[in-house]
Amino acid sequence: MAETAGSREAVVLVVQHEEEAGPGLVGEHLVRAGLRLDVVRAWEGEALPADLSGQAGLLVLGGSVNCEDDAAAPWLPGVRSLVREAVNGEIPLLGICLGGQIVAHALGGSVTTRPQGPELGAVPLRRLPTVAGDPVLGEVRDGTPAAQWHWDEVDRLPPGAVPLLTGDDCPHQAFRVGSACWAVQFHPEVGGAAVEVWAAAEDASVREAGADPEAVVNAVGDVEPELRRVWGAVSEAWGAVVLAFAATAANATVLDVPAARSL
């Protein structure tokens, strides 16, 4: 019997690095778009798949670990391998914060700890000319706020990367590699509630860096409606790329069973 194109469910592999850094708003919009999320809770010891067979997309989330600290996060080499496979195979990929840093590092860029301290709160982004026409981030307006929570940042893009968004205090806020890989430094998946949890957990570190945890939380909460509107739309745009890839893959693997020969 022939398998019809599009009959298989489109699945996104989600790599989660810690308990309080799940897919959040991005995940909600991907599910709403008709995708299924296969979440690997890596910090709990859940194993990553050996490859991306059967996956329509790869979503790598944020976390507090350094992207090169394989001792603290022994699953990172496996994530880097999946990132390279996704880029080589043009499988849609989205890396968020730590996930974006992993993308940069895995593909030949570099990541550093910010000498000026962490970027926290709601920060306006700046469009670069190269973002025009981008299928995922092309409609993001100049000055759009994004939730930020990072001590490290990409300081050198991978070879061939296209910078898309920048910021006043962080140059590489979003970039694309190849036709289907996007990486962002900010957190499109969170609102005020998630940032409040992070602020409570890292209160001492935030204060030591010279920031006020309550002010950081309030800054994100004040713009949450816009965050939800803009980054929800961006999530759906990436989801559309995933669905298009899944449909193409399904069409390419339809099984045509030959008719039985007459004897």
Question: Rounded to whole angstroms, how far apart are CA atoms 249 and 21?
Answer: 30
pLDDT tens per residue, range 44-65: 999 999 999 999 999 999 999 9
Two tokens, residue 193? 């509630």
Two tokens, residue 6? 């599009």
The predicted model gives 188-212 an average pLDDT of 96
Q: Is the pLDDT of residue 24 over 80?
A: yes
pLDDT confidence tier of residue 213, bands split at 50, 70 and 90: very high
Q: Is the pLDDT of residue 260 over 80?
A: no
Q: Is the pLDDT of residue 6 over 90?
A: no
The predicted model gives 230-250 an average pLDDT of 96
Q: What is the pLDDT of residue 253?
A: 58
Question: Rounded to whole angstroms, how far apart are CA atoms 127 and 99?
Answer: 21
The predicted model gives 94-103 an average pLDDT of 98
Q: What is the pLDDT of residue 105?
A: 98
As a whole number, the mean pLDDT across the chain is 93
